[in-house]
Each structure stands twice: as structure tokens, then as C-alpha cells.
Amino acid sequence: MTAKYGLWTAMVVASFGAGAGLSLLHCSGANADIPGDVPDASLQADGSEPRTCTACGENQVCSNGQCTDLPAQCPCPLGSYCDLGANRCVRGCIGESHCSDGEYCDVEKRTCNLGCDKDQECKTGEFCKRDVHVCAPGCRTDDECVKPAICQPQSGNRVCAVPWRAISGTPAHVESVTMGASCLYALTSEEAKRPLGYAISAYCPSSKAWTINRLSVPNAGRAVPQIASLGSRVYIAGGIVETDAGVPEPTTRTTFWNGTDTSGTQSAPLMNVARRTHAMASDGSLVYAFDHGTMEVLSASASEWALRKFSTLDLAHPGFASAGDSLYVTGGLDARGAPTGQVWKLTANGNANLLGTLAKPRGRHATVAKPDGTLYVFGGDATRRSVEVFPGGRELTPLPNSGNVIGAVLTKNAYFYVVTDAGEMFTNEP
């Protein structure tokens, strides 16, 4: 906290006259005259609890817990102020600097009362509610909040919260999202068309607008494919197709859109495993697809996907994200269809290391990784609005969504964009 100017203080103040001072001395203590309960007293400069006086004499004042004689002339000790017109010390205060550590000055009554007047007079993790001069749990600055939360007022308090806002014009029927070099791409299905038609819609934060690129996708009858960007390409892989007999089955088909061609997509190597419950990620050099204990890896120049096996991770609809040369798997549905909560770090050569467990088991959710390995986990079947930070299990401000989270991305400016299946997108970018 901010220390007072010392035990003996002389302040140059306007004269209030010889009779202006209050004759009552208020010493902080159990009978302190503060309206309402005090959840936490303010602190002294050294961080300790404020010292109080219990029985000071008639000609004494309470200065930082010590009964101190009130001198006949200025300068004056804490707990009193100098009446310059009469050149004498008067009990009480006419400013913050006249009170002891852990007290504030009621200028109207000219009394020093137990309580705070500055955030610095409260413990870490608390702020000063100046209207009632008490320390309450809450934040003071954005630096005290788990990113992307910021410190903001809420119902008379100050709390760490994420300022989610909705982006208008978000397309409906989003199947998957990915972050390109500067724009977010969303694969959307046009359900009125048969066979199923597709569009890749792009949202660029710089222009704050959506553009729609309708595609002619080879074998477009597939549903629920996933996408991942690699350079200027957006890869579209897996999903469900109907056989000639009309039976739906997963597919190995892969195509890519080059980011500018309005005529459609081009063929890419088929995956080794037919997939319909997978998630995809990209590290800028490689594209990855993962579910049910296997991961496939593809580069832009490769003629085939490389297959890696993780036999202990038989998961459907997991969270999957990359950061640098690290890949992360969060949650997912087990063989019974129940959500799980384990968090794994994978390597491209087939190793898996268990990092811990999410606070809430999840499946059909989205995961975003920061370069330092911090994971942000959005939504899920039973946790639709939840946002969790791993490690730590910290819950952030819930999303204001009505739909289920389809995907989430992190921009180069460290802002999140979260897309749902109800034509919604939310961001913390101002």
C-alpha cells in the first residue's frame, strides 16, 4: 500500500478557523464507525494488518497503533491535522495523509476510520470498494487475470471476465473451421442442394467481413468432413458418403481448395483410414488428422498420408490442436460414447505423453493451443458454453452461445474466434 508521509506531518491547508476541528478522536478498533460489515480491513504499508489503539488519553491521538500526545503546536502526528489559523493540532483529518495506515479520511466528518481508500491498501486478489471503503475479492488490472480475460466492472465489483461479442453475418451449417495466414475459413454445407453442396466462407478480422466461395467439390455427397489450412491451401478430408446402396459410411477422400480458385477443389492423396469422427490441425508445415488411436500426417508436396498409431487413444470427436512442433489431444468420446478428460501431448513419430486431466470431461468440443503450451478448451456435448484453461482447470467467462461449438481459432494477434452450429461466431477482439 501507499505509506503515509510519516508520524509527524505538517500539511499546508486552508485555515478552517480555531473551532473548525472535531473534538472527538476516532481510534480504529472493534467499534470503528463504518457502515456495514468489513469483509477485510485494509493493510499497512508493510502488508500487515492495521495497528489499533484501545484507550488513548484525552489529549492523545492514535497514530499507527500508538497513543501519541497531541502537541500544542504544529507539526502534528497522524490522527490529527494542523489548523494553520490557530497554529494548533486538531484531532481528526481533512485529507488521506492525516490518517494511519489502514485508515481512510471521512472528509465530511473529519474522522479517520478503519478501511481502504486505494487498491494498494488491500491484499493481493482484492480491490478497494471506495463507496464503502472495504477490501473485496476482485481484480485491479488486466495483468491479474488469466488471459484472455480482462479486469472490468460488474455489479459494483471488479472481476476478471472475457468480453465476448457476437460477429454478425456468420453462415449457418458450419462443419469445420481453420485459421489461415490472416483469415478464418469455415466449411459450410448447403443442405438444400442434393448432392450436398459446399462453400468455404472466409472471415478476415482486418476487414471484419465474411466472403463466401461456393465450391464444386468432387464426390460432394459427403457430410461432416473436417478442414485444416496449409499455406494457401485449405484441405478437406474425411466425412460420410453414401454407397450405391444408400448406406452411409466414412470416407478416406481428401481434396483441397487453393484459396483463390472459384471453380472448386482439387484432388489430394486419400487418407489411409476412413474417418468420420476425426479432428484436424496444422502446424504450418504439415496437416494432421486424428481419431480412434491413429493419426495421419500430410505435407503439401507429399503423395500420401503417413500413418501413426496411438493404441491407447481410442477416441472419437476429440479436441485436437497444434503449437509449434507439439500436438495436443483433449478429451473425446470413449468406446461407450462417454466423454473423457485426459490431455495428451503427441509427437509426429508416434509417442504420447499424458499431461493431466481436464476439470470437465468433454467430447465434440474445440481446442486451441498457444505457443507456450497453454490450452483453451471450448464447449462440448455436456459443456456447451464452458471455456476451460489447461493446465490449471480455470473456467473463463462462459460463451453466450445457443448452438454447439464447432471450432475455434487463435489469430496472430492472440484473439479467439469461436464458431457454433447455430450460425454464431464470438470473439474477444474489440
What whole-number distance in Å separates Cα of residue 309 and Cα of residue 324?
Answer: 21
| Chain center to CA of 58 | 55
224-249, pLDDT tens digit by residue? 789 999 988 999 999 888 777 878 89
Distance CA 303, CA 232 (A): 18
Torsion of CA 128, 130, 134, 140, to 10 degrees: -10
Q: Which three cell numbers stand for residue 382?
A: 455436456
Each residue of 400-421: pLDDT tens digit? 988 999 999 999 889 999 999 9
pLDDT in tens, 88-126: 999 999 988 898 888 899 999 999 988 888 888 888 778
Q: In what helix (H) or strand (E) does residue 419 lie, and over which residues does it extend?
A: strand 416-420
Instruction: Provide the mean pLDDT of the chain.
Output: 82
**Distance, CA of 253 to CA of 273 (rounded, Å):** 10
Domain borders along the chain are 8-137, 165-427
pLDDT band at 263 (very low <50, low <70, confident <90, very high): low
Q: What's the predicted TM-score (pTM) here?
A: 0.73
Say which CATH topology domain 165-427 has.
Answer: Neuraminidase (2.120.10)
Query: At residue 56, does pLDDT exceed 80?
Result: yes
User: How far apart, in whole angstroms, are the C-alpha atoms of residue 79 and residue 27?
Assistant: 8
Task: Return the amino acid letter for 213.
Answer: N
Asked if 40 contacts 135 with a C-beta cutoff of 8 angstroms, the reply is yes
Distance, CA of 102 to CA of 89 (rounded, Å): 22
Residue 415 CA: distances (Å) to CA of 148, 162, 174: 8, 11, 20
3-state SS, 232-269, equals: CEEEEECCEEECCCCCEEEECCEEEECCCCCCCCEECC
Return the number of other C-beta atoms located less than 10 Å from residue 7's C-beta. Answer: 15
For 79-83, 142-146, 155-159, 211-215, which range has the lowest pLDDT when averaged over its residues?
211-215
SS3 of 281-322: EECCCCEEEEECCEEEEECCCCCCCEEEECCCCCCECCEEEE
